[in-house]
Amino acid sequence: DAGITQSPRYKITETGRQVTLMCHQTWSHSYMFWYRQDLGHGLRLIYYSAAADITDKGEVPDGYVVSRSKTENFPLTLESATRSQTSVYFCASSGLAGVNEQFFGPGTRLTVL
């Protein structure tokens, strides 16, 4: 599929489990981002990456790990899921237009029981 995709779209897991959310983009964009959306908070940046093998923390990085071995993929791992990580997660990418004009994936709704 062209564009930016996320998988799975829905995930239910239990506290303490490791969960990986996948993000794939076909535009060869340099920048990729992970956000979480929670009521009253809007979109909060978890981690971002300027290029393969370059990642940096956003506003709410605790409890999350990212990697970027290939330009097109940017997986987000919750090493030991907690209930407070129940949220909708969005991946985004941006290219030559600048970091700001980001293209978002459809989101993954994660529930931690």
Partner 1 sequence: DQQVKQNSPSLSVQEGRISILNCDYTNSMFDYFLWYKKYPAEGPTFLISISSIKDKNEDGRFTVFLNKSAKHLSLHIVPSQPGDSAVYFCAASETSYDKVIFGPGTSLSVIP
- Give whichever of 6 and 79 is closer to partner 1, judged by the CB atom: 6
Q: Is 22 in the site for partner 1 (CB under 8 A)?
A: no
* Sequence-ordered strand ranges (E) for 8-106: 10-13, 19-25, 31-38, 42-51, 54-57, 64-66, 76-78, 87-94, 103-104
Q: Which residues 50-89 are close enough to bind partner 1 by CB under 8 A?
A: 58-59
Take residue 106 and report the two structure tokens written for it.
Answer: 């459809």
Report how many residues bind partner 1 under the rule CB under 8 A. 23
Q: Which is nearer to partner 1, 85 or 102 (CB)?
A: 102
C-alpha to C-alpha distance for 68 and 75, rounded to whole angstroms: 7
85: helix, strand or coil? helix
**Closer to partner 1 by Cβ: residue 2 or 42:** 42
Stretch that binds partner 1, among 42-50, 61-69, 70-78, 79-87 (CB under 8 A): 42-50
